[in-house]
Amino acid sequence: GGNRRVETLRRPPEAGNREAESRRGSRRGKRKERKNDSLNGDKCAFYSVGFSEVQDTLWDADGRHFFHRCTIQGAVDFVFGNGQSIYKVLTVIFCLLTLNVLGATLKPGVAHYITAPGRTNPYDASGFVFTDYLVHGTGKAFLGRPWCSYARVIFYNTDLTDVVVPQGWDSWHFGGHVSQLTFAEIGCYGSGSNTGRRVSWVKKLNGFCFQSMIRLAFINSGGWVQALPIPV
């Protein structure tokens, strides 16, 4: 009880205890209807879990979350929402084949998106931090596009393969608000990590802002992560 309480997202037994998988597609307008796939609880943790879907794989909707040694696979916006989360030692598999998702054909040669973070104001604590992980797969992808006008994502110490397009990021419908977005890559490596052709508005974070997000303290108020019965 108290500050040590940890809430988890529970899946039906048929989903298994190591993989949550769905083959349903979803357009952005349908997201509010997909409550069974959303992660809303505070202090949620996942260890060695696989998430797989074509689109909108993981709705990291709200709250503080910790993902460790997980695998997330998808083709469009497959990590999205307004969560305050750290994804550590993770594998992201971008898998784009010729697929039909609710009438929308996803074809090879067209770059899609790995993340679509929310965040509606500069005081919102939410954001996604990906650290010590691997992005690979087939096709081409942007690291992310904003779902809301203050979206925030950091990729830190990550192996970015040539799945990542040279531009890195897309402003989507928020081209007039790029100064408000926090999309950053720090200490990344691999064939897709060259920032020479990245969009001009990619953030170069100062030391304080950078350190405050990549450390466990970003989500660990009260020490709940260390209290988990898993290695961190």
Within a 10 A sphere around the Cβ of 195, how many other Cβ atoms?
A: 12
Number of neighbours of residue 118 by Cβ within 10 angstroms? 22
Q: Which residue's structure tokens are 């001009």?
A: 200
Burial of 165 (0-12, 13-18, 19+ CB in 10 A): middle
Q: Is 77 a catalytic residue?
A: yes
The residue written with tokens 């809430």 in the block is: 7
Task: Measure the CA–CA gap between 120 and 108, rounded to whole angstroms.
Answer: 32
CA–CA distance, 148 with 209 (Å, rounded to integer): 20
Q: Which residues of 10-35 are buried (b: 16+ CB within 10 A; e: fewer)?
A: ebeeeeeeeebebeebbeeeebeeee
* Paired residues of 197 in beta bridges: none
Q: How far apart are CA 226 and CA 8, in angstroms?
A: 16
Q: Exactly one of 62, 77, 124, 159 is catalytic; which is it?
A: 77
Nearest alpha carbon to residue 60 among 119, 113, 107 = 119
The catalytic site residues sit at 77
